[in-house]
Amino acid sequence: DAGVIQSPRHEVTEMGQEVTLRCKPISGHNSLFWYRQTMMRGLELLIYFNNNVPIDDSGMPEDRFSAKMPNASFSTLKIQPSEPRDSAVYFCASSLTGSDTQYFGPGTRLTVL
């Protein structure tokens, strides 16, 4: 079975550019989570969805960040405009209804120059 799929795996961009990260959850999973990993702050939640509906976006750093889940098999995290401090690894994870076990994608390593 395919796991959580993220693309791109690596992204290098210049400050001010728009960045879009993509995630395909495991088929049948109804919860999707976006996390960010940095050396300074560790792993922190950005936003999560249940049944395609955003439940908690309090972890989104600021208005430059937005996330969507137009259907059960796809989600995007967009940063516009990007800044060097956004450089991090962004992980997507999904879980089944009622389950507390999350399955993580391989992550997208973002570098903003």
Partner 1 sequence: GNSVTQMEGPVTLSEEAFLTINCTYTATGYPSLFWYVQYPGEGLQLLLKATKADDKGSNKGFEATYRKETTSFHLEKGSVQVSDSAVYFCALSDQGNTPLVFGKGTRLSVIA
Q: At its nearest, how many Å lie between partner 1 and the CB of residue 3?
A: 8
Which of 7, 17, 27, 97 binds partner 1 (CB under 8 A)? It is: 97
Q: Is position 31 an interface residue for partner 1 (rule: CB under 8 A)? A: yes
Q: Is position 45 an interface residue for partner 1 (rule: CB under 8 A)? A: yes
Which of 13, 22, 50, 57 binds partner 1 (CB under 8 A)? It is: 50
Contact positions with partner 1 (CB under 8 A) in 60-89: none
Q: Which is nearer to partner 1, 88 or 105 (CB)?
A: 105
Q: Which is nearer to partner 1, 71 or 101 (CB)?
A: 101
3-state secondary structure string across the chain: CCCCEEECCEEEECCCCCEEEEEECCCCCCEEEEEEEECCCEEEEEEEEECCEEEECCCCCCCCEEEEEEECCEEEEEECCCCHHHCEEEEEEEECCCCCCCEECCCEEEEEC
Q: Is position 7 an interface residue for partner 1 (rule: CB under 8 A)? A: no
